[in-house]
Amino acid sequence: QQQVKQSPQSLIVQKGGISIINCAYENTAFDYFPWYQQFPGKGPALLIAIRPDVSEKKEGRFTISFNKSAKQFSLHIMDSQPGDSATYFCAASNAGNMLTFGGGTRLMVKP
Amino acid sequence: ETGVTQTPRHLVMGMTNKKSLKCEQHLGHNAMYWYKQSAKKPLELMFVYSLEERVENNSVPSRFSPECPNSSHLFLHLHTLQPEDSALYLCASSRTGGANYGYTFGSGTRLTVV
């Protein structure tokens, strides 16, 4: 019930391409879905987050797509750049409770 | 600088040593967390403190001992560690109750047990 399943584990994209990372959850009480970005030697940093009352949220080149009926959400990185190479974590929680993290996706953007 | 400061950044310790990791936040958050990050388990929750009370202890061996003296400070005391405890130890903080605003993580302490 509390799991968040993330795929793929690793992803290689050419510069300028679209990176897509997917997450699925079971707990229908989840109402907050953030994505974190982690560079080597640093802690994860909040990248973008969505609540289930909207189906999409865009911030610059980063977009979260949310499908409530399928209990899935995804991160799209448009025009991927080598500087986007990092590990990405999805997460989910319901109000006031702890985040449940996905297993992470290591993204490499090739120049 | 994220608002959550962890010290030291790197630590090498022998298996018989005793050391402590420190975490400090001045974001007005009332919950703090310790995570272990390794190649095998990307984000492994260890301990959770909410309003200075431990509310989660995720089956962590007793050689790890947390301490939360106030809402701004969190420690992880280490003793007689094993080489498999070598990892990045991350501290995070958040607000609890009401709407979620996510966690703020520190940069971590890279621990090597020799």
Q: Could you write out the DSSP letters of every residue in B19-53? A: EEEEEEE-S---EEEEEEE-SSSSSEEEEEEETTE
pLDDT at A1: 55
**What mean pLDDT is predicted for residues B77-98?**
90
Tens of pLDDT, residue by residue over A46-70, are 999 999 899 999 999 999 999 999 9
Q: How confident is the model at residue A96 (pLDDT cuts 50, 70, 90)?
A: low
Interface test with A, best of B100, B101, B107, B109 (most A CBs within 10 A): B100
pLDDT band at B56, cuts 50/70/90? Answer: confident
Cis omega before residue A52 (within 30°)?
no
Average pLDDT over residues A88-105: 88
At residue A86, the pLDDT reads 97
Q: Do B43 and A101 touch (CB under 8 A)?
A: yes
Exposed/middle/buried for B26, CB within 10 Å: 0-12, 13-18, 19+? exposed
Residue to substitute from B27, B29, B103, B107, interface A, most A β-carbons within 10 A = B103
Mean pLDDT computed over A9-30 = 96
